[in-house]
Amino acid sequence: MMKNYFQKFPCMWQALLLLFMCIILMLFLGIVGAVLSYAINFAIPATRGHHAFVSLFINSFLSIGAFVPLCAIFFYLTDHPYPRTFRLTALHPAMIISLMVYVAGSSIVLSDVDNLTRWIFPLPDFLVKLFESVYSSRTGALLLMVVMAPLVEELLFRGVILGGFLKHYSKRNAIIFSAFLFAIYHLNPYQFTGAFVGGIVLGWIFAETESLLLCIFLHGILNFVAWSTKFIELPFSISGFNSDGPAGKVEFQPVWFDMLGILLFLSGLVLVSLTMRKYYRKQAAPDCLQQPT
């Protein structure tokens, strides 16, 4: 009976309710993680010098432990074809190369979009401290950004939400609606544009390939590039990209670098499209991903 009710879950209002509940859960886990990290530091003095890592590790562990089983329940109730969406053959070499081109271009373009946003709307102090806390531990940030976030967010937004939207709306609207909710989930306007653009591309890839594994891989690579600009010293320095300007001053990237980013961004999308047409020819879609007639 319950499975029959959830066959086309979620529609828009259900997704909004689910998003609200997930945001509350995320905030609750953040509080629990903070309490646990301080308790561990108090009980084990040796960890006090690694408080940032302990805090980020606990938050990542709690998020995976809460959201993965939650998404698995929804997959079961909606008859989601998870064996198909996690097939390793989706990681075709041609697709990986295409995605790398897209990632390079996207990272450059969205970096200057972020610069423009911060130039128009300077970051408030509480968000500055929030971003600093995320980057307070090299290993902790890697775990949070490259492992936890791609896994949890792709299962939720592409697997559960977009998977449901494709039963109710046209492919285009389903992708746009799910990307919008994905951007809202980040809870700050400075990440909205990047999350929305990324959500569009990830949704497009999922709708065409039915591969969550591919989406998790792309999401992880995008976040790894963001992480590497903070923690890995690259052999080149580009103002506004991986070179910090004077404190409190926003610097923009050189025009030639932006043009290169746009070229790589568009080339990557074309390559991804061509690769999907050649290597990801969809057969009859399973019921849970069939579009409405």
Model pTM?
0.91
Which of the two residues, 271 and 80, has the higher pLDDT score?
A: 271
Cis-peptide, bond into residue 10, ω within 30° of zero: yes
Which of the two residues, 280 and 180, has the higher pLDDT score?
A: 180
Does residue 12 have a pLDDT over 60?
yes
pLDDT of residue 211: 94
Does residue 140 have a pLDDT over 50?
yes
- Name the maximum alpha-carbon separation found in the chain: 62
Task: Write down the mean pLDDT value for the chain.
Answer: 90
Does residue 281 have a pLDDT over 80?
no
Averaged pLDDT for residues 288-292: 52
| Residue 206 near residue 215, CB atoms below 8 Å | yes
283 pLDDT band, cuts 50/70/90, is very low
284 pLDDT band, cuts 50/70/90, is very low
List pLDDT tens digits, range 155-180: 999 999 999 999 999 999 999 999 99
List pLDDT tens digits, range 51-75: 899 999 999 999 999 999 999 999 9
pLDDT of residue 128: 84
| Residue 282 near residue 291, CB atoms below 8 Å | no
Averaged pLDDT for residues 263-283: 90
End-to-end, the C-alpha distance of the chain in Å comes to: 24
DSSP bridge pairs for 243: 239
Q: Label residues 39-71 b or e (16+ Cβ within 10 Å = b).
A: ebbeeeeeeeebbbbbbbbbbbebbbebbeebb
List pLDDT tens digits, range 69-124: 999 999 988 888 878 889 888 999 999 999 999 999 999 999 999 999 989 988 88
Q: What percent of the chain has pLDDT over 90?
A: 66
| Residue 99 near residue 218, CB atoms below 8 Å | yes
Lowest mean pLDDT among 4-13, 198-207, 220-229: 4-13
Separation CA 171–CA 249 (nearest Å): 42
Separation CA 145–CA 102 (nearest Å): 19
| Residue 178 near residue 162, CB atoms below 8 Å | yes
**Domain positions in the chain:** 2-289
